[in-house]
Chains A and B, each alone.
Chain A
Amino acid sequence: MLPRNAENYIRVQPGEFAARCAGIFHAGGRLRMMFAADERETDGFMNIYAVFSSIADHGSFDIITTAVEDEGGFRYQSITPRVPAAHWYEREMACMLGIVPEGHPDLRPLVLHDMYPEGVFPLRRDITAEDIRSKVDLARDDAYPYKTVEGEGVFEIPVGPVHAGIIEPGHFRFSAVGESIYFLDPRLFYTHKGVEKLFEQVGFERGIQLAERISGTSSFCHSTAYCLAVENMRGVDIPIRAKAVRTFLVELERLYNHIGDIGNLCAGTGFAAGYAEGAELKERLMALNHRLTGSRYLRGVNKLGGVSRDVLEDVESISAELSVVTDEFKAVMKFIMSSVSHMERLEGPGFLSREAAVKLGATGIAARASGVNDDLRTAHPNLFYDRIIFEVHTRNRGDVLARMLLRADEAACSLAMLRSILRKAKPQKKELMAADAQQDARPADISGGRQALGWVEGARGSIFYFVKAAADGKSPLRVKVRSASFCNWPLLPFTVLNDIVPDFPLINKSFNLSYSGCDM
């Protein structure tokens, strides 16, 4: 049942790694994620993994790995100069594992702020959480070398980490000339919670609760990707009805996010009535979430091997609610789009070119609104997506307006998918009744050293998990989480150039990136 979506692990010599990755990237293979694992306890060295979508074999992944040995420090040749999309991944590895990418253009510490001492690499297996804790010193002064612009008429605007509204923390340094943004240097990872290390501490089962809490409004997609990774690693194929339930909730999560985002954009332009309409409709969906799963954020449904409850039991009432949502959504869109001043404001700012989107590895709405046709639901269909026929929507303008309209397209598409899954889930249809959704398909145990990927196209873009079991098979040796926001945050400074400072909140809202999802 799993011939497609294969994972081809290709081991190369350290000297060939950069060339091999660059070759795939320039031939059009998308870099999905890149990370390293400390495997000194089993292999005697660390391994770097670069995950690409295969070009030759549609639907599968080519995972290029290479060993990095300790030669008075861990070093390898950086791939960022040839594969710009690897920029943040390499910085992350340097910070978290102490693997230095030689030739990388920007090696400022990405994840750990100044209270963490130098030379402490949390994801190394030979350091415990308590060790790191004992070395944290909150009194140490902030010495992050921000990039600054000098010259006549250039002034600097520092913003954050505590912002004016109810939003997550991050620091932005604008260098402005008049009102125009000349340069932006963001500093994130204020909400870094050490989640990847924590995964290793808590074991496979409790990992689900962690995955659900990486980014609040992507709870379900994250936990689904995590479960899929562990299930793939165990070689489990979950019951068909559980797939339907997961797909349904993934689309429901996309729907409430997109509708909420469309409403929030109105707050960015000061269009209060539009914002209120959007917020109200979103609240209706949150209430539906609560009714279906007992959680407004769809938590507690996923479990390893399936789902804990069959949310599709009450097909009639869900259908009725969805038809109300469909009507209201149309009305809200009509209302918002009839405001000329709002729509005009969205036109132009936050431009992301197709070329930049591809080079920097944009994902999700950000990529598709710049004309990049990339959606995991068709590129690597899992769950129920190979049974649903749908079209990947794209837009070409690459600005705030394009992202707003694309969200509307996708929300409508999600509504159609939800209806189609509901039709299939009716009790009289035998199709989804083959196996009970709550059936637990967990096999006896996991052999040590097994590894697998799990992925989902979430509301913000692609989400990837990599899970590898430790030698005893009981706990994870490494869990790598790659959220959509981690890919898209590095784009932001490029999209605001020459826009005015007051447009920044609007541009930021149009991407709707998660801080917590990125910082973890």
Chain B
Amino acid sequence: MFGKIFCNIIKSKRVLNERELEYKNPEEAAGGLVRRDIIPASFRGSVRIRQVDAGSCNACEWECIALTNPIYDVQRFGVDFVASPRHADIILVTGPVSWSMARALEKSWLAAAEPKIVIACGDCAADGGVFRGSYAVAGGADKIVPVAYKISGCPPSPADIIKGIRGALALLCGPHKGPEPK
């Protein structure tokens, strides 16, 4: 669904090489997807994410950063990354949780205000990924904080991450009332 949408964006860029087409009307370019399709009403159109790197290889972070670039432009859906966990609705964890980051992760989680959820982003955060069995990692974010939703992939693509955020919010607030994106 989402994967296809973003593939199309990039593909159309490659074939047409015509910027206007994508930027004139982002919702149109995203297959008629609008803000309320991603964010449940109880969040009133806006979710804020604090991303915490708990020992990732950095590819997962780059995909989060890519979400904010002009192609994926996730802010247009009301989703944004914030500097402080105190401003966050979602703690998005990447990495297998190295022991050295375990306490920092826990503190970040505690600092966020309710209601809040943790998303484990990437295979590492889900279960340790390739680093499982190492002496230096907890082997998954759920060993340290309560994980509500896992996004698989190594790394998950930017489109997978948006899909995951949507799924996690649906889990928290019940299924979406709006139409399923085409």
Contacts and interface: CB of A to CB of B under 8 A. Distances in A.
Contact of A198 (B52, B57, B100, B131): B131
Contacts of A168: 53, 56, 58, 61
A112 B157 CA distance: 32
Interface string B130-166: 1101111100000000000000001101000000000
Contacts, number: 150
Contact of B103 (A138, A197, A214, A284): A138
A22 interface: no
B66 A215 contact: no
A201 B64 contact: no
Interface stretch (B25-33, B35-43, B91-99, B167-175): B91-99
Interface in B52-109: 52-66, 69-71, 81, 83-85, 95-96, 98-104, 108
Contacts of B130: 209-210, 213
Contact of B13 (A193, A282, A284): A284
B14 A276 contact: no
A320 to B, nearest CB: 10
Contacts of A136: 99, 135
Contacts of B65: 166
Contact of A213 (B53, B57, B98): B57
Nearest to A160: B104
Given A113-B99, A279-B70, A194 B155 contact: no
Contacts of A190: 55, 98, 100-101, 104
Contact of B55 (A132, A164, A219, A516): A516
A209 B54 CA distance: 19
A62 to B, nearest CB: 33
A321 B101 CA distance: 41
Given A133-B135, A192-B136, A287-B10, A276 B70 contact: yes
B104 A129 contact: no
Range, interface on chain B: 35 or more
Nearest to A115: B99
Contacts of B58: 168, 215-217, 514-517
Contact of A276 (B52, B64, B69, B96): B69
Contacts of B62: 216-217
Contact of A296 (B85, B104, B157): B157
A299 B154 CA distance: 9
Interface in A479-520: 514-517, 519
A56 B78 CA distance: 62
A116 interface: yes
A163 B175 CA distance: 34
B84 to A, nearest CB: 8
Contacts of A116: 99
A113 B98 CA distance: 11
A515 B94 CA distance: 14
13 contacts: A168-B58, A168-B61, A169-B55, A190-B104, A191-B100, A210-B130, A216-B56, A276-B69, A279-B71, A284-B10, A284-B13, A297-B59, A519-B98
Interface of B: 10, 13-14, 17, 51-66, 69-71, 81, 83-85, 95-96, 98-104, 108, 129-131, 133-137, 154-155, 157
Interface of A: 113, 115-116, 122, 129-130, 132-133, 136, 138, 161-162, 164-169, 189-195, 197-198, 201-202, 209-210, 213-217, 219, 276, 279-280, 282-284, 286-287, 296-297, 299, 321, 324, 514-517, 519
Nearest 5 pairs of A and B residues by beta carbon: A216-B59, A194-B136, A132-B135, A164-B83, A279-B69
Given A165-B83, A191-B100, 19 more contacts: A129-B134, A132-B136, A133-B135, A136-B99, A138-B102, A162-B53, A166-B64, A166-B65, A166-B81, A169-B101, A169-B104, A191-B56, A197-B135, A215-B58, A216-B155, A280-B71, A282-B69, A283-B69, A299-B154
